[in-house]
Amino acid sequence: MFVRISQFPALKILFLCALGYFLSSVYDIPSNLVLFILLLCLITSLILFYFKQNFFALLILCLSIGFWFSNQTHISKLTAPNKIIGEFPAIFDGSIIEVLKYDSNYAKIIICGNIDTKFLPEINKTSILLNINGKKISEFDLRTGNVLSAKIYARLPNKRILKEDFDESLYSQSLGVQWIGRAWSDDVSIIDISERRNFLKDIKENIRKKISILFDGNSRAVMNAMILGDKSLVSSELREVFSLSGTAHLLAVSGLHVGIIAFIIFFLLSFLSNKWIKFVIFSILTSLYVLISGLQESAIRAGLMCILVVYLNTIQRQIYPLNIVAFVFLILVIIKPTFIYSPGFQMSFASIGGIILFFKPIKNLFKLFIKSESQIIDKILSSFALTISASITVSPIVAYYFGVYSFISPISNLLVVPLMSLSLIFGIISVALSFISIQVAEIYSLTTELLLNISEQINRFSISLPFAYWKNIENTWIIILISAITLYCLLSKSKKQFAFRIAVSIPIFLMTYYLFLPANEFKIIPRDKYVLLMTSDGYPKKIIFIIDRKPHQRYAYDSGLLKLIKSTDKDIIIAYNGLAGSLIVDKIKQIKDIKTIELNNQSVNLFEEILNLKEHIPKII
């Protein structure tokens, strides 16, 4: 049945706002004119509404919102040259905006205030992501609203150079911070204490204590991640297992978890006959869970969607999922424009968008091949179609940020999602009962641990299968091509069309892949303490040159390079010079067998001549 665009007003508004954003980006409207343009657009819209020119009034209003959104996202960026710039000493004083992590020896907080350094003019009203280390952290009262002063080492967020690098620049933009800083607890002073008490922190701490009593090992780590959004206890090895199996979204407070919690809340409120009272209580409890879980992007999106669905059900309006998604997207980016830079935000909306758009046609294709009246078969087909429709849109994003594509994901999700969902339900019941009786709560916690252990073993088995995943992807366009071809085939309306599309897609993919295969060449990669020269993926061996920047430069930990070395299956040959080179080579030898060659200055000069470089390798930044 044909659906009119008038049934999707939020989607229409979203498209018009996006148009305003792109126009603002193309024409680069100065910041000092944005406020004037917004006021002018608002006045013009009101005049057009008065004369009942609703479409043009809405168009101008949405374009102005797009201009404002573009301006806000660009404000969060600090213009800097595309070079590696080292950290510098500074004095920073300001108030704590958010506490991201806080334990006895380490804290990660966002502060808004003033930064003073002799290298730059004093910068006011800027934000910094500050990492504090030291034993005195336990003596501090780090909470939102407190004002502190600290002697820090500050720097600009690093951009991702190696695929294995953590993209600090994008992460900082998603948090709305312009600087990265570190400080020792001895150099930090609390100069003003906020009188506000953080009740949510107290609730989270009580829940965390109950989880520690009821669960051990990986089970404790996973329950902290799923209930509280705290993934700090999840080991890197376990994260990799879930990532390679395509079930990493289960190790966080995802939309699925919020949906389960919302369903439980709605079910427990079923005794209320008054719909509005039920809606208000449901909204409060769902919002409380989203707050306790750490306000993760996927949780906020799912929580708002659940509240909107219940609201529409309360006023007895027809529910259009695509319209709800567009409306929630608008609300979130208006509240916090920098959400747009968050990978979690992008993946959350990409997955739900894929499900809404492609779930039904993919399931219909499956029914052409498997014709059965069994409800169990129908549920399996639905789960399989749900996973594939979400992974089609999410896979390119995952490949871009994490360099992984999981072929086994649809099957592993089919088995693991129900088990993890049940474990979350039993885990919540266990924690709730622990406030009444620990003995009764332990019965449910044992069931939870059993389900979590089975899920972990299924994931470990799935990634041990041949061709289960593709790791260390350097070219995201390949995954985009795979997703596009997969979607093209799965949207077939008949068996013959499906067979034809597969027959056409395979040679197109192979031709495209080999046509754009990266050439065999050396890549020059600047690092903080040294410069890398590295062979591309076309070489049968991984040859790496580490050129020290200074004769006495000490080595700083380089997690990106170590991850690259650890993950590659090729034989590795490393040629190096200087102290930084020898120290990183010693570190690499601890994790992998490699062949090494020590270089002298003549060898470095020879490479410069071969590569026809206009400047010395150590000066490349």
Q: Which domains does the chain have, with CATH numbers?
A: 5-75 (no CATH), 88-192 (2.40.50), 258-337 (no CATH), 522-619 (no CATH)
- Among 368, 355, 374, residue whose Cα is nearest residue 413: 355
Structure tokens at 361: 């046609």
**CA dist., res. 544 & res. 533, Å (int):** 6
- pLDDT tens per residue across span 578-588: 777 777 888 88
Name the strand (E) or helix (H) holding 183.
strand 179-184
- Angle at alpha carbon of residue 433, lines to 432 and 439, rounded to 5°: 145
Identify which of 28-32, 380-384, 483-487 has the greatest average pLDDT.
483-487
Question: Any idea what DSSP says for residue 90?
Answer: E
**CA dist., res. 248 & res. 263, Å (int):** 22
Mean pLDDT of 158-178: 75
Q: Which residues pair with 471 in a beta bridge?
A: 404
Supply the pLDDT for residue 1: 37
Could you give the C-alpha distances from 517 to 307, 395, 436, 544, in angstroms and in order? Answer: 47, 20, 62, 21
The residue that leads in pLDDT, 237 or 196, is 237
Where do the H-state alpha helices sit in 156-215? 168-175, 199-214
Burial of residue 538 (CB within 10 Å: 0-12, 13-18, 19+) is exposed
Supply the pLDDT for residue 3: 44
Tell me the three state secondary structure of residue 192: strand
Structure tokens at 506: 């395979």
The residue that leads in pLDDT, 555 or 116, is 116
- pLDDT tens per residue across span 56-82: 777 777 777 777 777 666 655 544 445
Mean pLDDT of 211-237: 80
Least confident span in 6-20, 150-164, 269-283, 403-417: 6-20
Structure tokens at 203: 């609730």
Residue type, 224: N
- Among 141, 135, 134, residue whose Cα is nearest residue 99: 141
Maximum Cα–Cα distance across the chain: 85
Supply the pLDDT for residue 81: 47
- pLDDT tens per residue across span 544-599: 888 887 665 555 667 778 877 877 777 888 888 877 777 788 888 887 888 888 87
Tell me the three state secondary structure of residue 342: coil
Structure tokens at 76: 């969060």
CB atoms within 10 A of CB 319: 11
The residue that leads in pLDDT, 204 or 425, is 425
Supply the pLDDT for residue 619: 64
Question: Any idea what DSSP says for residue 596?
Answer: E
